[in-house]
Amino acid sequence: MSEFLAPLNYDRARDVLRRLSVYNAYHATGAMAATAVLKESYPLIFSQMEVKTFENEALLFEMLGANMMEPLVFTSHLDAQVSQALVLDAPIHELPMSVPISRAHIISLFEALEELLRDGYRPGGDLFIALSMDGLSGGAGAKSLAAHLKARSVSPCFVLDYGGYVTMDAFRTYLPKESPLALVGITEKGLLNGKVTADTSLRSREGCEQMMPLAELLRGGARLTRHPKQAALCNASQQMLCALGTSAPFLQRMLVSKPQRTFPLLKFLWRKRAIMRQFFFSELTVYSAEGKGTAQSPCENASLEFTQSIIPGKKTAEYKYRIRKMLKNDDLKLEYMMEGDSSVRSEPSGEAWDALETAIEIQFERVVIVPCLSPFVTDGRYYAPLGGRVYRFSPFMVTGDEGLHGECTVTDGTLQTAVQFFRSMLSV
Residue 81 vs residue 9, higher pLDDT: 9
Residues of the chain with CATH 3.40.630.10: 10-171+344-426
Residue 85 confidence class, pLDDT cut points 50, 70, 90: very low
Of 80, 31, 25, the closest CA to residue 54 belongs to 31
CB 106 within 8 A of CB 131: yes
d(CA 87, CA 104): 16
Which amino acid is it at 221? G
- Lowest mean pLDDT, pick from 1-5, 105-109, 208-212, 228-232: 208-212
**The CATH number of domain 188-340 is 3.30.70.360:** yes
In the predicted model, is pLDDT for residue 321 greater than 60?
yes
d(CA 123, CA 64): 7
Residues of the chain with CATH 3.30.70.360: 188-340
Q: How much helix, strand and coil, in percent to the nearest 5, is found in the chain?
A: 40, 25, 40
Which residues, 6 or more positions from 47, have their beta carbon under 8 angstroms from its beta carbon? none
Measured N-to-C along each axis, helices 101-118 and 412-426 cross at an angle, to the nearest 10 degrees, of 60
Fold for domain 10-171+344-426? Aminopeptidase (3.40.630)
Q: What is the mean pLDDT of the chain?
A: 90
Q: For residue 89, what pLDDT is reported?
A: 54
181: left (phi over 0), alpha (psi -120 to 50) or beta: beta
In the predicted model, is pLDDT for residue 53 greater than 50?
yes
φ, ψ for residue 211, nearest 5 deg: -115, 155
φ, ψ for residue 109, nearest 5 deg: -60, -45
Burial class (CB in 10 A: 0-12, 13-18, 19+), 320: middle
* Partners of residue 369 on adjacent β-strands: 182
The helices-and-strands tally (H runs, E runs) of the chain is 14, 17
CB 376 within 8 A of CB 186: no
CB 17 within 8 A of CB 104: yes
Which amino acid is it at 122? R
**Beta strands 229-231 and 407-410: pairing type?**
unpaired
In the predicted model, is pLDDT for residue 169 greater than 90?
yes
Q: For residue 68, what pLDDT is reported?
A: 78
